[in-house]
Amino acid sequence: MKLRRVILALTLAALCLSCLGLGVLAAQTSVTVPLDVTIDLSGNVPSKDGTYTVVLEAKDSGCPMPQGKTGGTYRMNITGENTAAFPDFHFDKVGIFEYTVYQVKGSNRGCDYDERVYDLVITVTNAENGGLEYTVALRLYDSDGEAEEKKLDQIVFQNYYHYPDTPKTDDESNLARDLFLAAGAIAILALLFLTRKPRDAA
């Protein structure tokens, strides 16, 4: 009988310690924040998919960043019209963490790359269960730095293609014009040479 009581007491103690351990773990749990980015294309989109580079930049050195970052920035390439996710980044303390997200202007002269900048604020707070929880707030700025909207649900960059209906570039137009003028000048000189009168002999 005494042995059973001892076993029961030990079992209860083990359960209590287990619950206590779970509580400690919950208090130390970090939160993982996913972040998706969408590239939206319109206009005369080329048949071959382009590559678009999006940058996540921390405003402060204490802001957690995804694995693979370089300094305070992380660059992600997206192929074609698509949605991609930054690698998850983890927060193990409460605080307000601020970032900017923007697209790097590409090299295609026939494309208007979206130059707007997103202001990303991740707020991490203590949850009722002793762990952590987070909220995400987005604000969008145009190329002049003016805020367009206060609350957004997602990050989207809208790129517009003039290609393939883009007029010839200035360089190409100037080259054609110069060649035309040069050919005309040569023709005039040749005509003057052929029609000149010989000088009277002295």
168 is a domain residue:
yes
140 is a domain residue:
yes
- Residue 96 confidence (pLDDT): 96
129 is a domain residue:
yes
Domain count, the chain: 1
59 is a domain residue:
yes
The pTM assigned to this predicted structure is: 0.66
- Residue 159 confidence (pLDDT): 97
144 is a domain residue:
yes
13 is a domain residue:
no
Q: Which residues are CB-contacts of 61 (< 8 A; sequence separation ≥ 6)?
A: 72
Could you give the dihedral angle defined by the CA atoms of residues 23, 62, 153 and 127, in that order, rounded to the nearest 10 degrees?
20
Domain at 44, CATH number = 2.60.40.3050
- Residue 161 confidence (pLDDT): 96
Rounded CA-CA distance 130/21 in Å is 12
164 is a domain residue:
yes
Domain of residue 90 covers: 33-190
19 is a domain residue:
no
- Residue pLDDT, tens place only, 24-83: 333 447 899 999 999 999 999 999 999 999 999 999 999 999 988 998 999 999 999 999
Phi-psi region of 187 (alpha: psi -120 to 50; beta: other; left: phi over 0): alpha
In the predicted model, is pLDDT for residue 170 greater than 50? yes
Strand order in the sheet with 83-91: 83-91, 31-43, 155-161, 111-112
Q: How many CB atoms lie within 10 A of CB 55?
A: 15
